[in-house]
Structure 1
Amino acid sequence: MADLLWDDVSSFFDPDLMGSLPDVRVPDASVEDWQAVLDLVAEKGWKCQYSEGETVLPVPRAEAVLSRPADAEGPDLRVWPTADVLAIFRFHADDEVDFDVDLRELQGQGRLDVFCGFLREIGRRLGKPVLMDPEGDYGHPVLGFDVEADRVVLLADPQVR
Structure 2
Amino acid sequence: MNLNWSDVNWIFEPEGSLRDIYIKNVRAEDWIVLIDHLNQNYNIRYGPSIENKSINKIDKEYILKYFIDETAEMETKSASIFIDKIMINLHFFSDEEIEFDIDPKEINSNSDLEIIIEFMNDMSQILNKEAILTGEGESDYPLIAVDYGNKKIVLVTKEWM
The alpha carbon displacement at 1:136 in A equals 3.6
Partner of 1:101: 102
- % identity of equivalent residues: 23
Long gaps (5+) in structure 2: none
CA distance in 2, matches of 1:67, 1:79: 24
The alpha carbon displacement at 1:79 in A equals 0.7
The alpha carbon displacement at 1:153 in A equals 1.5
Contact 1:53 1:75 in 2 (8 A): no
Long gaps (5+) in structure 1: none
Contact 1:124 1:150 in 2 (8 A): no
- Map 1:1-161 → 2, pairs under 5 A: 1-2=1-2, 4-16=3-15, 19-44=16-41, 46-51=42-47, 56-57=54-55, 58-61=57-60, 62-68=63-69, 69-80=71-82, 82-154=83-155, 156-161=156-161
TM-score, normalisation: structure 1:
0.84
Opposite residue 27 of structure 2, the aligned amino acid is: S
CA distance in 2, matches of 1:145, 1:38: 20
Aligned residues: 155
RMSD of Structure 2 on Structure 1 (CA) = 2.2
TM-score, normalisation: structure 2:
0.84
Contact 1:52 1:73 in 2 (8 A): no
The alpha carbon displacement at 1:40 in A equals 1.4
The alpha carbon displacement at 1:141 in A equals 1.1
CA distance in 2, matches of 1:70, 1:15: 34
For residue 93 of structure 2, give the secondary structure of its aligned residue in structure 1. Answer: coil
